[in-house]
A and B are shown apart, each in its own frame.
Chain A
Amino acid sequence: MTHTLKDGGQVLNVGMLARVEGEGGMHIEIKDRKVVDVQLNIFEPPRFYEGFLRGRHYTEPPDITARICGICPVAYQSASTEAMEVICGVQTTDAIQTMRRLLYCGEWIESHALHIFMLHAPDFLGYDSVLEMAETHGDVVQMALRLKKCGNDLMDTVGGRAIHPVNVRVGGFYRMPALADLMALRPELERGLEDALAAVQLVSTFDFPDMEQDYTYVSLRHPDYYPLERGAEVVASSGVRFPVAEMPLHVEEFHVAHSNALHARFDGEPFFVGPLARYTLNFDQLSPRCQEAALSAGLTETCRNPFKSIIVRTVELAYAFEEALRIIDGWTDGHAPSVPTWPRAGEGVGASEAPRGTIWHRYRVNEAGIIEDAQIVPPTSQNQSSIEMDLRTAAEQWVDLDDHALTHRCEAAIRNYDPCISCATHFLDLRVKRS
């Protein structure tokens, strides 16, 4: 897939980056062993959600925005419900927030298990897919499928459906799941927690390339919890912290010619959202068991090697199991599923921690409850500059590898992000040009 250009440069071309969600390409140009240009091209066609949300009713975004992504619909549902509740001026109950967190645990489990084992692990083990991996690592694949299924079962039980849950509304839920149905999930969740903790050790034995990056990390933060369904504020490794409502003041989106997804800057600089940022900024909020698992897997309290995101993701997977069990054990029947809401003119921001990183929505609604303006900022969009930065570092560091090996490294560097390109446009063709 290499061809030589007229000027003697070279182009590596991978038709489409695999094992990511959505479609895109990348372009790397190398001249005299120097990387002169790196572009992540997201060519997933735009679907214009922000356009057609105008004129819809304030109760509709949880169902509509879920359809931006089949892999993380709950992230969209949580951020949009929160934004609308801010606008309506209603406070949900602790029970509702707890149930949102439980639903979100289901999404973290399903999405992280999918990415860790089915999309990312094959890179480290030298396979093209999980199906090939199944021939030699049958027990790992069986475990992965079991773990993933736990997440789906949790989403089915709380949300009504694993993809595009139907039970989420502005103000809470349509129906609270019954304790008995949640308890029925307990044995598998307990087994899942043990498996996930063992998986942290397993993935820590992979061979990690040396690459440390000086990212500006951004994440939600909550005084009581590791951030998930919401946070109390936004924190950055630069030391900046502010309430979620001020997100639009710090994050600026802009449009570049080579991508159908908007790029973003945080206080004028490229930044990084996702598991590495969450972990580094919230290590103290992990459970003692997960902290111990992380440290015994060789991580420190901060992690700046993007390839090690697979370990961090597995720590978060274990954490989601632990949280799910904790929530179920503290649950009782009889909580009201929702609080009533009425439309009110205003503007509001809602944010949550999608498996891939902070996602936030901003809406402006009129007094009749009709949406006048919508802005949806998914993690992959915000991470595009960091992805390009990693690609540049990877291409510079491994410039002497042959084209095939370099291509594979660069693809893996992108998969570190678990990029969701469907989200970011609301993927990847690799071209390395050498001269």
Chain B
Amino acid sequence: MTHHEHHHGPAAESAGGIEPASGPEPGAAREQAGAAEPGSGPEQGAVPEPALAEAAKPAPAPASAARPKLAVWKFASCDGCQLSLLNCEDELLSIAGAVHIAYFPEATRAVVEGPYDLSLVEGSITTPEDMRRIHEIRAQSGTLVTIGACATAGGIQALRNWADVDEFRSIVYAHPEYLSTLDTSTPIASHVDVDYELRGCPVDKRQLIEVLAAYLNGRKPRIPTYSVCVECKRKGNICVPVANGTPCLGPVTQAGCGALCPTYGRGCYGCFGPQDTTNTASLTTQLVELGMADADIVRVYRTFNAGAPEFEAAGNAVEAGGAR
């Protein structure tokens, strides 16, 4: 199941894995294992119900018959994506029955030594020390899954990539020299091979359970790669840009939240990041038609997934040449 040459050991052999659509290239784990097609997926980009039961039942016994060891790691982040795991109140005890929670500092003092079968990684790389630590984690992990916008796109803290970090340091801190921090915030896949990336700020807990269930059953996660628009249509939402002239990133944003924002009458602000094929140029034109100034359009692309290549390019293009 593993395609990483650099980590052998018991972890790699003992458990089922998530098979990406194709082998991941180092530094480019945008596989997103596109399995579901528009119209064929479950409602709201959600997980088919059986997945929960599937997660709850013990893994198809790995050779060792031991539960796979799960580790949860944190880099620069808000803890929201790991909290999504603790927020699975109805499923938490089943999850703890299906996997051995071996390292999860937010939840337990107990530390079981690696290697780990499955690592969930939250947060982005923003310090020299973290650049080093992620390699150690990769070496100790059978399957490595990044959770959330920080880990898959650099998060909101990637806004530093457009700014002078020395200035940021001095705005916030009286003694910038006490800090050791990088000029950039980068996704995990920029540093090590990643087996699967789960989008969202935060991740959707139903999708998180689907990823765990898929891992335990040695299959691909069924996560939709179509846009938020599809979720709106399924829900019967009125299209907010068409009906109300509200700017909306839904057409270029990957489904997963259940089209939350339009359901609440506001435009999508892109917290699930770009869908697999986006037409940001067309969306930019539409945002102009809705009356947005260039500076506003740039800011819209630069939020929680500012560092995702598609959003990064779209924002940069408007900044460089104007949207008109």
| B-binding residues in A (CB < 8 A) | 15-23, 44-52, 54, 56-57, 60, 63-64, 67-71, 73, 110, 114, 118-119, 122, 128-132, 134, 141, 145-146, 148-149, 152, 160-164, 166-167, 169, 174-175, 254-257, 260, 262, 411, 422, 426
Q: Given A45-B181, A128-B109, A67–B299 Cβ distance below 8 Å?
A: no
Report the Cα distance A162→B181, complex, angstroms: 31
Determine how close the nearest CB of chain B comes to the CB of A339; give it in whole angstroms.
Answer: 16
CB of B266 within 8 A of CB of A68, answer no
Measured between beta carbons, the chain B residues less than 8 angstroms from A122 are: 109
A contact residues around B107 at 8 Å (CB): 18-19, 118-119, 129-131
In the assembled complex, the CB of B264 is this many whole angstroms from the nearest CB of chain A, namely: 5
- Contact (A51, B80) CB under 8 Å given A60-B299, A149-B89: no
Give the complex CA separation of A146 and B89 in angstroms: 7
Taken together as a complex, chains A and B put the C-alpha atoms of A68 and B80 apart, in Å, by 9
Pair A46/B178 contact, Cβ less than 8 Å: no
Q: Chain A binding site: helix, strand, loop or mixed by DSSP?
A: loop
A148: B residues at CB distance < 8 A: 87, 89
A50 CB contacts on chain B under 8 angstroms: 171-172
Q: Which residue of A lies closest to B185 (CB)?
A: A47
List chain A residues, Cβ under 8 A from B223: none
Further 16 A-B residue pairs, CB within 8 A, beyond A48-B160, A70-B78, A131-B107: A18-B105, A18-B109, A19-B107, A45-B75, A45-B76, A46-B179, A48-B168, A48-B172, A57-B296, A70-B79, A110-B87, A118-B86, A128-B109, A134-B93, A149-B89, A422-B78
**Cα separation A71 to B82 with both chains bound (whole Å):** 10
| B79 and A160 within 8 A (CB) | no
Q: Are B175 and A255 in contact, with the CB atoms below 8 A?
A: yes
| Inter-subunit contact B160/A260 (CB<8 Å) | no
- Count of interface residues, chain B, beta-carbon cutoff 8 Å: 63
State the CA gap A260–B169 with chains docked (Å). 11
**Which residue of A18, A56, A164, A422 contacts B108 across the interface (Cβ within 8 Å)?**
A18
Contact B110 A129 (CB under 8 A): yes
Q: Which of B85-110 contact A (CB under 8 A)?
A: 86-87, 89-90, 92-93, 96, 101, 105-110
* Contact (Cβ within 8 A) B261 A166: yes
A47 touches which one: B157, B261, B303 (CB < 8 A)?
B157
A sample of 23 inter-chain contacts (CB < 8 A) reads A21-B106, A46-B179, A48-B159, A48-B168, A51-B172, A57-B296, A67-B78, A67-B156, A70-B79, A70-B81, A71-B83, A73-B80, A128-B108, A152-B89, A160-B260, A163-B83, A163-B87, A169-B266, A174-B265, A257-B175, A262-B173, A422-B77, A422-B78
Q: Are A145 and B92 in contact (CB under 8 A)?
A: yes
Chain B residues with CB under 8 Å of A145's CB are 89-90, 92-93
Cβ of B225 within 8 Å of any chain A Cβ, yes or no, is: no
Per-residue A-contact encoding for B107-132, CB less than 8 Å = 1, 0 else: 11111000000000000001100100
B43 at the interface (CB under 8 A from A): no
Q: How far is the CB of B28 from chain A (nearest CB, A)?
A: 24
Contacts A22-B79, A163-B83, A164-B202; A57 near B299 (Cβ below 8 A) = yes
